[in-house]
A and B are shown apart, each in its own frame.
Chain A
Amino acid sequence: MKTSTDTAIGKIHGINGPVLRVAHERDTRDFFMSERVRVGEQSFAGEVISLRGGPSSDIAVVQVYEDTAGLKPGQEVRGTGHPLSVRLAPGLVGHIFDGIGRRLDGAYSDEKKWPIQMLVKPGDELHLYRIPVQVAETPSITYKAMLPPGVRGTVISCVPDGDYTAEEPLLEIKTPDGIRVFCLAQHQPVRVPRPVRRRLPLTRSLITGQRVIDSLFPIAKGGVAAIPGGFGTGKSITQHQLAKWCDADLIVYIGCGERGNEMAEVLEDFSRLTDPRTGASLMARTVLIANTSDMPVAAREASIYTGIAIAECYRDMGYHVAVMADSTSRWAEALRELSGRMDELPAEEGYPAYLASRLSEFYERAGYAENLNGSEGSITIVGAVSPQGADFSEPVTQNTKRFVHCFWALDRRLAYARHFPAIDWMASYSDYAEDLIRGEHAENRRRMLAILHEESRILETVKLTGTESLPESQRTVLSKAKIIRETFLQQNAYDPVDTFTLPYKQAEMMKGLL
Chain B
Amino acid sequence: MNVEYLGAREIRGSLMILEGIDDAAYDESVRISLTDRASDASPLWGRVIRIDGDVAVVLVFEGTRDLSLANTVTRFTGRPMEMPLSLELMGRTFDGMGRPKDGLGNVHTRLRRGINGIPINPTQRDYPRGHVVTGFSAIDGLATLVRGQKLPIFTGDGLPHDKLAAMIAANLCTPSTAVVFAAMGVKHDTAEFFRRSFSESGALERSVLFLNLANDPPTERIITPRCALTAAEYLAFDRGMDVLAILTDMTAYAEALREISSARGEIPSRKGYPGYLYSDLASLYERAGIIKGKRGSLTQIPILTMPGDDITHPVADFTGYITEGQIVLDRVLYQRGIYPPINILPSLSRLMKDGIGGGKTRKDHPDLAKRLFSSYAKVSDARAILSIVGEEDLSEEDKSTLVFGQRFEQEFINQREGESRTMEETLDLGWDLLSSVL
Contacts and interface: CB of A to CB of B under 8 A. Distances in A.
A395 to B, nearest CB: 10
Interface stretch (A125-133, A262-270, A426-434): A262-270
Nearest to B320: A231
Interface residues of A, number: 65
B431 interface: no
Interface stretch (A200-208, A292-300, A442-450): A292-300
A264 B25 contact: no
A292 B119 contact: yes
B127 A261 contact: yes
Nearest to B311: A389
A260 B266 contact: no
A441 to B, nearest CB: 29
B370 A418 contact: yes
Contact of A96 (B123, B350, B366): B123
A81 to B, nearest CB: 26
A180 B87 CA distance: 63
B101 interface: no
A467 B382 CA distance: 10
A69 B121 CA distance: 19
A410 to B, nearest CB: 13
Q: Most chain-A Cβ atoms within 10 A of its Cβ — which of B51, B117, B275, B370? A: B275
B394 interface: yes
Contacts of B233: none
Interface string A291-310: 01111110000000000000
A14 B127 CA distance: 40
Given A350-B267, A468-B393, A418 B377 contact: yes
A346 B270 CA distance: 13
A70 B370 CA distance: 50
A509 interface: no
Contact of B321 (A96, A231, A260, A295): A231
A104 B121 contact: yes
Interface string B113-154: 010111111110111100000000000000000001000000
B424 interface: no
A417 B278 contact: no
A21 B278 CA distance: 24
A15 interface: yes
Contact of A390 (B269, B312, B366): B312
Interface in B295-333: 311-314, 317-318, 320-322, 324-326
Interface stretch (A110-118, A278-286, A354-362, A457-465): A457-465
A472 interface: no
B127 A72 contact: no
A394 to B, nearest CB: 9
Interface string B348-365: 101101100000000000
Interface stretch (B30-38, B172-180, B280-288, B408-416): B280-288
B312 A466 contact: no
Contacts of B370: 418
A15 B377 contact: no
Given A290-B122, A340-B266, A417-B373, A268 B127 contact: yes
Contact of B394 (A16, A337, A468): A468
A388 interface: yes
A255 B22 CA distance: 40
B23 interface: yes
Interface stretch (B7-15, B210-218, B383-391): B383-391
A307 to B, nearest CB: 15
A232 B348 contact: yes
Nearest to A68: B26
B52 A96 contact: no
Contacts of A67: 116, 118
Given A69-B116, A297-B279, A337-B279, A465 B388 contact: yes
A464 B389 CA distance: 7
B62 interface: no
A263 B317 contact: no
A231 B319 CA distance: 9
A13 B53 CA distance: 5
Contacts of A69: 25-28, 80, 114, 116
B232 to A, nearest CB: 15
Contact of B322 (A105, A259, A340, A465): A259
Contact of A15 (B50, B128, B279): B50
Contacts of B23: 72
Nearest to B319: A231
Contact of A68 (B27, B282, B395, B398): B27
Nearest to B388: A464
A150 B395 CA distance: 74
B52 A13 contact: yes
Interface in B365-408: 366, 370, 373-374, 377-378, 381, 384-385, 388-389, 393-395, 398
Contacts of B120: 260, 292, 294
Given A73-B53, A232-B325, A261-B351, A389 B267 contact: no
Nearest to A465: B389
Given A346-B267, A388-B314, A463-B385, A14 B53 contact: yes
Nearest to A348: B269
Interface in B234-284: 266-270, 274-276, 278-279, 282-283
B96 interface: no
B24 interface: yes
A17 interface: yes
B346 interface: yes
Contact of B276 (A14, A17, A261, A295): A17
A504 interface: no
Given A72-B23, A232-B348, A468-B393, A294 B283 contact: yes
A69 B126 CA distance: 28
A271 to B, nearest CB: 11
Contact of A340 (B148, B275, B314): B275
Contacts of B313: 389
Given A293-B322, A494-B366, 13 more contacts: A15-B50, A261-B122, A261-B289, A292-B119, A292-B286, A294-B119, A386-B321, A388-B270, A390-B317, A416-B345, A467-B395, A467-B398, A468-B393
18 contacts: A14-B50, A16-B50, A16-B51, A17-B276, A67-B116, A104-B122, A104-B123, A259-B286, A260-B122, A268-B127, A333-B279, A389-B314, A417-B373, A417-B378, A418-B373, A463-B388, A466-B388, A467-B395
What are the 10 A-B residue pairs with the smallest beta carbon separation, nearest first? A389-B312, A293-B282, A69-B27, A231-B320, A417-B377, A263-B122, A294-B286, A350-B269, A264-B125, A416-B345
